[in-house]
Chains A and B, each alone.
Chain A
Amino acid sequence: MGETSLLIFSFCLQAAIGIMLFITLGKQLYKDKEFKAAALVAAVLSVVGILASLSHLGRPLAFLNSLSNLGSSWLSNEALLSGIFAGIAVLYALVLYLKPNQTFDTVLRWLGSIVGVIAVFSMAKLYTSTIVPVWQGINTYVEFYATTIAVGALLFIVLSLKQLQDIDKRVYGLIVLAAVIIQAAVAVPHAINLGVEGLAAQASAAILSSMSFVIGLKWLLVLAGAGILMWPSAQKADAGAASGAGIIYAACALLVVGQLIGRYVFYAAVVAMNIGLV
Chain B
Amino acid sequence: MAQYGFYFDMTSCIGCRTCQIACKDKNDIPIGVIFRRVRAYETGKFPKPGVYHYSGTCNHCEKPKCVEGCPTKALHKLDNGIVDHDRDKCIGCRFCTWNCPYGVPQFIEEIGRTGKCNFCKDLVEKGENPVCVDACPMRAIEWGELDQLKAKYGDVTVSDLPILPPSSITRPSVLIRAKTIALQKDYREKEI
Report 29 cross-chain contacts, Cβ distance below 8 Å, ordered by A residue.
Answer: A57-B91, A57-B93, A58-B91, A58-B94, A59-B90, A59-B92, A59-B113, A60-B91, A65-B89, A65-B90, A65-B91, A66-B72, A66-B91, A68-B71, A69-B70, A69-B73, A73-B69, A73-B70, A73-B95, A75-B71, A129-B69, A130-B99, A131-B99, A272-B103, A275-B102, A275-B165, A276-B187, A278-B163, A278-B164
The proximity string for B residues 42-64 relative to A, scoring 1 for CB distances below 8 Å and 0 otherwise, is 00000000000010100000000
Closest residue of chain B to A78 (Cβ to Cβ) is B71
The proximity string for A residues 67-98 relative to B, scoring 1 for CB distances below 8 Å and 0 otherwise, is 11100111110010000000000000000000
Interface size on A, residues (CB 8 A): 29
Mark out the residues of chain A between 200 and 253 whose CB falls within 8 Å of any chain B CB in the assembled complex: none
Q: Which single member of B73, B103, B114, B169 contacts A275 (CB below 8 Å)?
A: B103
B interface, over-half SS: loop
For the complex, is A37 an interface residue (Cβ under 8 Å from B)? no
Contacts of B70 in A (CB 8 A): 69, 73, 75
Q: Measuring CB to CB, which residues of chain A are less than 8 angstroms from any residue of chain B?
A: 56-60, 62-63, 65-69, 72-76, 79, 126, 129-132, 272-276, 278
Q: Measuring CB to CB, which residues of chain B are less than 8 angstroms from any residue of chain A?
A: 39, 41, 54, 56, 65, 68-74, 89-95, 97-103, 107, 111-114, 162-166, 169, 187, 189
Distance of A136 Cα from B88 Cα, bound (Å): 31
Contacts of A278 in B (CB 8 A): 162-166
Question: How far is the CB of B65 from the nearest CB of chain A, in Å?
Answer: 7
Distance of A56 Cα from B95 Cα, bound (Å): 11
Given contacts A274-B102, A275-B163, A276-B187, contact A62 B91 (CB under 8 A): yes
Contacts of A274 in B (CB 8 A): 101-103, 165
Q: Is the CB of B107 within 8 A of A68?
A: no
Q: Is the CB of B164 within 8 A of A275?
A: yes
Q: Is the CB of A275 within 8 A of B69?
A: no
Contacts of A69 in B (CB 8 A): 70-73
Question: How far is the CB of B189 from the nearest CB of chain A, in Å?
Answer: 5
Q: Is the CB of B91 within 8 A of A131?
A: no
Contacts of B89 in A (CB 8 A): 65, 68
Q: Is the CB of A65 within 8 A of B71?
A: yes
**Which of A59, A126, A272 lies at the interface centre, i.e. has the most chain B CB atoms within 10 A of its CB?**
A59
